[in-house]
Structure 1
Amino acid sequence: MESPSSSTPSSPAQKALDRIALQMASSLDLHVVLTTITQGLVDDLDAAFARIWLLGPGDLCTGCYKASACRDHTQCLHLRASAGLYSTLDGEYRRIPLGSLKIGKIAQGAGPMQTNDVLGDDRLPNKQWMKDNGLQSFAGYPLVFRGDVLGVIAMFGRRPLADEECERLATFAHQAATAIKNAQLFAEVEQLTNRLQAENVYLR
């Protein structure tokens, strides 16, 4: 058995992500889970900007600025949580088609994306916005639960991300996907229960 003195101490990034994981796992309310994740990345991991998009039905196609790039209007990525530079959910990126922009490509199977040179990385648009806000790094990961993509989690930072932090974030994304799926299932069960109760009242 490994002695406590020989164990590798947790890094600040690991401690921060562990705190966020503990908090997000303590709730089955989807809004609380999503907000805990994004705000936690800003507060505990020094992210300048953190967001989560989840797959949902295509509902705002006529007002989507990327509608012309959308091949499947039945579903797209819905912005569900945002913290840091922007906390509103009704901006330009409230809906992102699958395969469009960096977020849509991550969701469609391009895999995680990390860079410590956002201004020099051709995969990222809006260079002036990044420069104005002093952004240096970006990390984005698919939220995958048992092989199914639920959405995408992404963050910008004003400092470089170490390789270890990126590895930890990849693991954290899997933990986040589990917490999100549990909250979604709980909401579905609650909705079904309420419907059955309403039907029972009607049939009395």
Structure 2
Amino acid sequence: MLRLEKNPEELIGRNIWDEFPDLVGSKAYEEYHRAVTEQMPVNSELFYPPLACYFDIRAFPSQDGLSVYLQDVTERKRAEDSLRERARTAMLGADVGLALTQGATIRDMLSRCAEGIVQHLDAAFARVWTLNAEENVLELQASAGMYTHTNGPHGRVPVGQFKIGLIAEERKPHLTNAVVGDERVGDQEWAKREGMIAFAGYPLIVDDRLVGVIG
């Protein structure tokens, strides 16, 4: 049930923008004014952060003012988001399956996997390293998205160094939604310049044996 943390008696006869100032300038604010200005009904959806809820908004102008009907559609939106996420994951799984069966070489297979991650997960870029066990070094085999080269500083990463090497050493994923400020991201200027927000890196383990890192 929707709770505005105000009783109806507190709202009757009051200016809605005074009572809910955080709505000023929002989509609801614009739609309400459009309905009155154009004298036509409007219908839109709004996410309201203070309540962490989605609302279906229907506004109907009249000579006396504006009638507004709100419906909490949060559960529906969450179900839709969950369905989209499952569909994206399924498509990625299908692409990875094709890559592993149709790729001519390991590098070709991993390149297709990286491309699938960028395409289906909206990643800025994706890279795959394999472990050179003799030298204890991760070697970059595939890179897709905004960076496609496999040479340079990230071409060979010693296990235990930098964020990728630490993922391999610890055999644990590293996830962050704050790349800028993350102590494991060494080049903070690059992160700021490119607008990097989130990072996800995972160790690749087969039969309890580390074979690489994806991130």
TM-score by length of 1: 0.60
Deviations along 1:146-198, one digit per CA (max 9) or x if unpaired, are 111111010xxxxxxxxxxxxxxxxxxxxxxxxxxxxxxxxxxxxxxxxxxxx
Higher relative contact order, structure no. (Cα contacts within 8 Å, ≥ 6 residues apart): 1
CA distance in 2, matches of 1:82, 1:117: 22
Q: CA deviation at 1:84?
A: 1.2
Q: Do the aligned partners of 2:96 and 2:116 also contact (CA within 8 Å) in 1?
A: no
1:7-26 maps to which residues of 2 (within 5 A)?
10-26=82-98
Pick the aligned partner of 1:36 from 112, 125, 129.
112
- 2:202 is the counterpart of 1:141: yes
Partner of 2:141: 80
CA distance in 2, matches of 1:55, 1:110: 12
Q: Do the aligned partners of 1:55 and 1:75 also contact (CA within 8 Å) in 2?
A: yes
- 2:182 is the counterpart of 1:121: yes
AA paired with 1:52?
V
CA-atom RMSD, angstroms? 1.8
Which sections of structure 2, spanning at least 5 residues, go unmatched?
1-78
Which sections of structure 1, spanning at least 5 residues, go unmatched?
1-7, 59-73, 155-204
AA paired with 2:156?
R
Structure with the bigger percentage of helix: 1
- Shift of the 11–49 alpha-carbon distance from structure 1 to 2, 3 Å rule, reads same
Partner of 2:124: 48
Q: CA deviation at 1:145?
A: 1.1
CA distance in 2, matches of 1:80, 1:133: 23
Structure with the bigger percentage of strand: 2
TM-score by length of 2: 0.57
CA distance in 1, matches of 2:197, 2:115: 19
Q: CA deviation at 1:56?
A: 1.7
Mean Cα displacement is larger for which, 105-114 or 76-85?
Answer: 105-114
CA distance in 2, matches of 1:40, 1:134: 22
Identity rate, percent: 36
Q: Do the aligned partners of 2:111 and 2:143 also contact (CA within 8 Å) in 1?
A: yes
1:160-175 maps to which residues of 2 (within 5 A)?
none
Q: Do the aligned partners of 2:132 and 2:139 also contact (CA within 8 Å) in 1?
A: yes
